[in-house]
Amino acid sequence: MIIKVQDLVKKFGDFVAVDKISFEVPEGEILAFLGPNGAGKTTTIKMLTTVLSPTGGQITLNGFNPLTQKDKARQSFGIVFQDASVDEELTAYENMEVHAVLYNVPRTERKKLIQHLLEFVELWDRKNEFVKNFSGGMKRRLEIAKGLLHHPKILFLDEPTQGLDPQTRNHIWEYIRKINQEEKMTVFFTTHYIEEAEKIADRVVVVDHGKVVAVGTPEELISKAGVDNLEDAFIKLTGNTIREEQVDPNEQMMRRRFGGR
Amino acid sequence: MEIIYILWLRQIKRYYRSKARIIGSLGQPLLFMIAFGFGFGPIYQKAGGGNYLQFLVPGVIAMSILFSAVFSGLEIIWDRQFGFLKEMLVAPVPRLKIMFGRCLGGATVAVLQGVIVFLLSLLVGFRVDNWLLMPAALGFMFLIALVFTLFGTGIASSMKDVQGFQLIINFLVMPLFFLSGAFFPLTGLPSALKAVMLVNPLSYGVDALRNTLVGLHQLGLVRDFTILSVVVIIFLVVASYLFSKIEA
């Protein structure tokens, strides 16, 4: 098991965002982590990727404890965050370069890898442009190229294809599946496009209100729910009510300042 | 080493690419030199203090370094807002290196800013007493820059958003500047005020610049150097602790 999570808890004051979640992911698997808004998906990913410390429970990533062996755990994974993590004042190429240095990508391979990935996300022609001039989709593509740069053992993707057109989405998933097969890279992703999960994922974990409500292959979940597709199974599992998302203070400010996203 | 270098380089690139910021940040020091330098000059001379511009310019240089350095540190809040902070936080390298690279970059930018103000002051009529002491002056500029970049970094690391920004500028940065002896000599001040100025690290920076640039001094270079170095070490420890505790 390359990812092991046991009784993971995260509280923000009185609010329990993640409530005793447990699951395991074998090496080489593509796992979809699904749930309605505010189910605790992003909080879980943040704890798995060492940017947030859990209130309780245990995590093992590639054999390392992300709390005590931070750097080793960090070297094991790549992450594409839900929101931007690039420097807008730098060019696309410079962002990739900074990332390569931060992740110890050997100098000799750097140029080739950066070119390869920027060509893959079709940004090579615009490598010398400032990221602030990019469209939302282009920024997203750059994020993905960046997350793949250091060939991680585990790739976390928090809604990687949000806001992208179907062509680009397909293209990206194809690539992710390809490296998953070629390099046995484990993929852990969240998405609101349930059909993506149905198509791509080996297994699905559904969370709601900070708890795991179902685990299984897409087929298992569909047949257990007695419906036609994963989306219906998902709705059956998590209900029809629309969720209020718990906003963290940071995002709250972003919304006030910049009028939302 | 390369990690420190690449983050240093990032700060430098961000600096020279924002021409508006460079020009904008020169307005205030220039205004101080012209308005105060010439405005208070005659009174200062009458009081027997000598040439006020000569007295003032080292203070104004220290001021622009202070502002530029604190801003560089506080830029972490912007990195948080625009997302780049996350990139640094999940990187598999010691956070100390990341913070150090950033701070060296920020300090370098602040020194550049100080040098530009120094060059402007020559146009306004400032005269260097002994050019041989210029390297020492630059060294002190760097120490001042490092102290306040670390200071800004420590504060920004413990802030969640920009709401407290004005508070920091008005209640920390402005007092640091006004109570540093940049405008007036330490002699003959009420003892409470003097005590405050003696715990302000910028006072030692101003004194050192005044000493190396125009040969005026009140506290002595050895003392200035020792205190600034000790403050750098203390702030380095505190800022790296706070930076290591940041959560996204």
Query: Measuring CA to CA, which residue among A140, A67, A5, A83 is closest to residue A258?
Result: A83
What are the chain A neighbours of B80 within 8 Å (beta carbons)?
250
CATH number, domain of A158, equals 3.40.50.300
Nearest CA in chain A to B89: A51
* Portion of chain B with pLDDT greater than 90, in percent: 62
B158 to chain A, closest Cα gap in Å? 13
Give the contacts of B29 (CB within 8 A, at least 6 positions apart). B60, B61, B63, B64, B117, B120
Alpha helices in B83-190 (DSSP H): 84-89, 95-124, 134-157, 165-168, 174-178
pLDDT band at A247 (very low <50, low <70, confident <90, very high): low
Select from B14, B84, B92 the Cβ nearest to the Cβ of A86: B84
B19 to chain A, closest Cα gap in Å? 13
Kindly state whether A51 is in contact with chain B, defined as any CB-CB distance less than 8 angstroms. yes
Kindly state whether B170 is in contact with chain A, defined as any CB-CB distance less than 8 angstroms. no
- Which residues span the domain enclosing B90? 2-244
A172 to chain B, closest Cα gap in Å? 21
- Determine which of A48-52, A225-229, A250-254 has the lowest per-residue pLDDT on average: A250-254
Cβ contact, residue pair A79, B17, below 8 Å: no
Cβ contact, residue pair A53, B18, below 8 Å: no
Task: State residue A256's pLDDT score.
Answer: 46
Judge whether residue B243 has pLDDT over 80.
yes
Task: State residue A245's pLDDT score.
Answer: 58
Check if the beta carbon of residue B11 is closer than 8 Å to that of residue B102.
yes
- What DSSP state is assigned to residue B161? S
Higher per-residue confidence, B13 vs A244:
B13
d(CA A95, CA A112): 15
Alpha-carbon separation of residue A84 from A81, A143, B148 (angstroms): 7, 7, 29
pLDDT band at A259 (very low <50, low <70, confident <90, very high): very low
Mean pLDDT of chain A: 87
* Portion of chain A with pLDDT greater than 70, in percent: 92
| Over residues B158-173, mean pLDDT | 83
Judge whether residue A253 has pLDDT over 50.
no
What are the chain A neighbours of B83 within 8 Å (beta carbons)?
81, 83-86
Structure tokens belonging to residue B103: 């701070």
Query: Measuring CA to CA, which residue among A155, A44, A133, A46 is closest to residue A86?
Result: A133
Q: Count of A–B CB contacts within 8 Å?
A: 85
What are the chain A neighbours of B84 within 8 Å (beta carbons)?
85-87
Which tens digit of pLDDT belongs to each residue from B70-80?
A: 999 998 988 88
Task: State residue B186's pLDDT score.
Answer: 80
Task: State residue A171's pLDDT score.
Answer: 83
Helix %, strand %, coil % of chain A (to 5): 45, 25, 35
What are the chain A neighbours of B82 within 8 Å (beta carbons)?
84, 87-88
Kindly state whether B1 is in contact with chain A, defined as any CB-CB distance less than 8 angstroms. no
| Over residues A86-111, mean pLDDT | 93
Q: DSSP assignment of A121-177, as one string?
A: TT-GGGTTSBGGGS-HHHHHHHHHHHHHTT--SEEEEESTTTT--HHHHHHHHHHHH
- Determine which of A148-152, B101-105, B134-138 has the lowest per-residue pLDDT on average: A148-152
Task: State residue B49's pLDDT score.
Answer: 79
What are the chain A neighbours of B157 within 8 Å (beta carbons)?
none
Judge whether residue A254 has pLDDT over 80.
no
What are the chain A neighbours of B94 within 8 Å (beta carbons)?
71
Cβ contact, residue pair A250, B80, below 8 Å: yes
Kindly state whether B132 is in contact with chain A, defined as any CB-CB distance less than 8 angstroms. no
Check if the beta carbon of residue B88 is closer than 8 Å to that of residue B98.
yes
Select from B18, B83, B98 the Cβ nearest to the Cβ of A86: B83
* Portion of chain A with pLDDT greater than 90, in percent: 43
| Over residues B38-48, mean pLDDT | 86
Check if the beta carbon of residue B169 is closer than 8 Å to that of residue B156.
no
The complex's ipTM works out to 0.86
State residue A135 phi and psi, 5-degree precision.
-80, 170
Check if the beta carbon of residue B219 is closer than 8 Å to that of residue B130.
no
Cβ contact, residue pair A98, B6, below 8 Å: yes
| Over residues A180-198, mean pLDDT | 90
Q: DSSP assignment of A38-100, as one string?
A: TSSHHHHHHHHTTSS--SEEEEEETTB-TTTSHHHHHHHEEEE-SS--S-TTSBHHHHHHHHH
Which tens digit of pLDDT belongs to each residue from A152-185?
A: 899 999 988 887 888 888 888 888 888 889 888 9
Strand partners for A12: A15
Task: State residue A150's pLDDT score.
Answer: 84
- Provide the number of structural domains found in chain B: 1
Cβ contact, residue pair B93, A83, below 8 Å: no
Kindly state whether B89 is in contact with chain A, defined as any CB-CB distance less than 8 angstroms. yes
What are the chain A neighbours of B91 within 8 Å (beta carbons)?
74, 102-103
Judge whether residue A242 has pLDDT over 90.
no
- Which residues span the domain enclosing A148? 3-258
Mean pLDDT of chain B: 91
Kindly state whether B19 is in contact with chain A, defined as any CB-CB distance less than 8 angstroms. no
pLDDT band at A255 (very low <50, low <70, confident <90, very high): very low
B95 to chain A, closest Cα gap in Å? 9
What are the chain A neighbours of B10 within 8 Å (beta carbons)?
87, 90, 94, 98
Check if the beta carbon of residue A187 is closer than 8 Å to that of residue A27.
no
Task: State residue B202's pLDDT score.
Answer: 96
Q: What is the CA radius of gyration of chain A?
A: 18
Task: State residue A243's pLDDT score.
Answer: 66
Cβ contact, residue pair B87, A83, below 8 Å: no
Cβ contact, residue pair A102, B14, below 8 Å: no
- Provide the number of structural domains found in chain A: 1
Select from A74, A88, A250 the Cβ nearest to the Cβ of B90: A74
Which tens digit of pLDDT belongs to each residue from B92-133?
A: 888 899 999 999 999 999 999 999 999 999 999 999 989 999
Judge whether residue A195 has pLDDT over 70.
yes
